[in-house]
Amino acid sequence: MTTLSVFDQSQPETARTVTENPAEIRELLARHGVRFEQWPTRDLPADASQEEILEAYGDEVAKLKAECGFQAADVVSLNPDNPQKEALRKKFLDEHTHREDEVRFFVRGQALFYLHFGNEVFAVLCQKNDLISVPDGTRHWFDMGPEPEFTCIRLFTNPEGWAADFTGEDIAARLPHYEALAGAAG
């Protein structure tokens, strides 16, 4: 189930707020300009190709492209048997920003987005059906866990794809990781 945990960065060991209510999650995130929606998903084979996934969600991708000016869409999919899973997890675990909105629609599985606003960190456990759009310039990081299992459609205004500016702050190392938060949610 999708959850939102809110932490004070000076007391990272305990979440101040935890909710599983999608309307409340949407409202709390919207206060910071984050778009959160839940969309229906389609039944696709576990080994569906990027092309098959993008075709299945062609109408939704086209709508977001027209609405937000996105130029490119792709699919990222990770499974526990991926030999590069540790390196990929580490790549996204440090706080960073982007010069464009970071949009993900989860068509399978789950992962955590951490969003850093002032003294607060919002940890959003996104799951199948969740669409999240993190505004450009928002400090954040992503934790797919030690055994990643998810598929997301990503949209970009930059046709070259994902590019990050790392903040150099250690906040990500001080908060509970995926193992603690996803385990608590399950």
- What pTM does this model have? 0.93
The rounded distance, in Å, linking the Cα atoms of 12 and 58 is 40
pLDDT at 58: 96
Give the pLDDT of residue 160.
66
Binding annotation: 96, 98, 102, 140
pLDDT value, residue 186: 46
Position 157 scores a pLDDT of 85
End-to-end CA distance of the chain: 7
DSSP for 6-73, please give it. EEETTEEEEEEEEE--HHHHHHHHHTTT-EEEE-------TT--HHHHHHHTHHHHHHHHHHH---EE
pLDDT at res. 161: 60
Q: What is the CATH number of domain 3-185?
A: 2.60.120.10
User: Could you tell me if 174 and 119 are in contact, meaning their C-beta atoms sit under 8 angstroms apart?
Assistant: no
The binding site for Fe(2+) consists of: 96, 98, 102, 140
Residue 54: name the closest of 129, 100, 88, 105 by CA: 105
Sequence spans of domains, the chain: 3-185
pLDDT of residue 2: 94
* Binding site feature residues for Ni(2+): 96, 98, 102, 140
Locus of tokens 């934790």: 143
Question: What's the confidence (pLDDT) of residue 162?
Answer: 67
- Phi, psi at residue 47, to the nearest 5°? -100, 25
In a structure prediction context, what are the per-residue pLDDT tens digits for the chain, which is 186 residues long? Answer: 899 999 999 998 889 889 999 999 999 999 999 999 999 999 998 789 999 999 999 999 999 999 999 988 999 999 999 999 999 999 899 999 998 888 999 999 999 999 999 999 999 999 999 999 999 999 999 999 999 999 999 998 876 666 788 899 999 999 999 999 997 554
Determine the pLDDT at residue 106.
97
